[in-house]
Amino acid sequence: MSTPTVSSRVRWLTLAGTIITQFALGSVYTWSLFNGQLSHKLEASVSQVAFSFGLLSLGLAISSSLAGKLQERFGVRNVTIGAGVLMAFGFWLTSQADSLFMLYLSAGVLVGLADGAGYLMTLSNCVKWFPERKGVISACAIGAYGLGSLGFKFICSYLLSVNSLEHTFLIWGGIAMAMIIAGALLMKDAPKQQAVAGDAASARDFSLTQAARLPQYWMLAVMFLTACMSGLYVIGVAKDIGEGMVNLSTQTAASAVTVIAIANLSGRLVLGILSDRMARIRVITLAQIVSLAGMGILLFSHMTETTFFISVACVAFSFGGTITVYPSLVSDFFGLNNLTKNYGLIYLGFGIGSVLGSLIASLFGGFMVTFSLIMALLVLSLIMSLTIRLPHCPAKAAEGLRQAQPL
């Protein structure tokens, strides 16, 4: 068997393993199913219980930023297996939790760290295997993560209907661990990308230290934070917006969850595939314009049921597409070899964005102030995406390219 054939088989197996792992990792987004029963068990308010998911999101972002170091030392397969075991342990502890502190430690910190350790690292590793179709591969992997929340919604709902809360957590953790380990066994670390003579894109190889010194890096970070803040805040309070601003019934407002899920997945698939056919920064520009349209409806129009669903769909579509395109976009700017580290620091914006919108709303009084701030940040981000340019190659790589040029 020839080397190219072996390499091709390995990368497709890695893609399959990544999709399986991402599907299991995405299961954490069914957390709202458990708030009511946990609230009753712990004799705490739903908002206190729901805070555990905020901690989970923060832990996910922090762990994602550190996963590159772990991969360098232990390899993608071993770190992913460790993430699966840690997730199962976190759910086991959650089943034993008898206080809010234990819940925050188990479901918040441990499950969040496990989810983050697997999410970004396996995604970045898979993208490195397919440098010629980064957008489609990101769409497949992140789409699987999104579908995991939908698939496990039915799994966990069924488990809750036939088991106790404690046994449901144990079974959920066991299923997730089995899928993550099975996926990990199919994965292999992507080879280091070699610079090709005359190809500036392949020579683009910034370390995190080099990238963080460039204004482009922080421009991308601000754009990502803005997209996460707008998407996570609007998605999180969509039902409340429908009831409070549009005077919809609780049942009608709750339909926003379905609209958001469809729009979010559509954004991941459409913009992910589109990003392989046009400049990725222009895809981000398009996503920002769609999000601005949604926020504009929320801020400046007389809201009806139709405009409400259109507005949240625009924001969810933009958010889903942005987080799909961003890994490939970061690799366009700073290279594939250090993608996990370079994107990992930017990905902290996901954790910050997950709490920033709600924090501003609670401090300054509700939806409109937060919408106005998000609108201003989106305008700033749009200006950044229209003006940002690729950085020059690192000096060492650029010198290698010059020496490779024929005389």
| Predicted model pTM | 0.80
pLDDT on residue 394: 65
Which CA distances in Å does 123 have to 132, 148, 164?
A: 15, 15, 34
Residue type, 207: S
Distance CA 227, CA 319 (A): 6
Rounded to 5 degrees, φ, ψ at 323 are: -70, -20
Distance CA 246, CA 223 (A): 29
Cβ–Cβ under 8 Å, residues 249 and 287: no
pLDDT on residue 398: 47
Which CA distances in Å does 303 have to 174, 239, 249?
A: 45, 14, 14
How many C-beta neighbours within 10 Å does residue 327 have?
Answer: 29
How many C-beta neighbours within 10 Å does residue 117 have?
Answer: 26
pLDDT on residue 202: 55
CB-based contacts of 362: which residues, under 8 Å, 6+ apart? none
Which CA distances in Å does 377 have to 317, 336, 390, 399?
A: 18, 28, 22, 38
Cβ–Cβ under 8 Å, residues 251 and 243: no
Which CA distances in Å does 232 have to 139, 182, 362?
A: 19, 30, 15
Distance CA 163, CA 168 (A): 6
Cβ–Cβ under 8 Å, residues 91 and 170: yes
Task: Give start and end residues of each alpha helix (H) in 26-75.
Answer: 35-42, 46-74
Handedness of CA 196, 198, 204, 205 (dihedral sign): positive
pLDDT on residue 297: 93
- Please name the residue that has the structure tokens 């970004």: 120
How many C-beta neighbours within 10 Å does residue 145 have?
Answer: 26
Q: Tens of pLDDT along the chain (407 residues)?
A: 444 555 788 989 999 999 999 999 989 888 878 888 888 899 888 778 878 887 888 888 888 888 888 888 899 999 999 999 999 999 999 999 999 999 999 999 999 999 999 998 998 899 889 888 888 888 888 889 888 888 888 899 899 999 999 999 999 999 999 999 999 999 999 887 665 544 555 557 888 999 999 999 999 999 999 999 998 888 777 777 888 888 888 778 777 777 887 888 889 889 988 988 899 999 999 999 999 999 999 999 888 889 989 999 999 999 999 998 998 899 899 988 888 889 888 988 888 887 788 788 778 777 888 889 999 999 999 999 999 999 887 655 444 444 444 43
Distance CA 190, CA 182 (A): 18
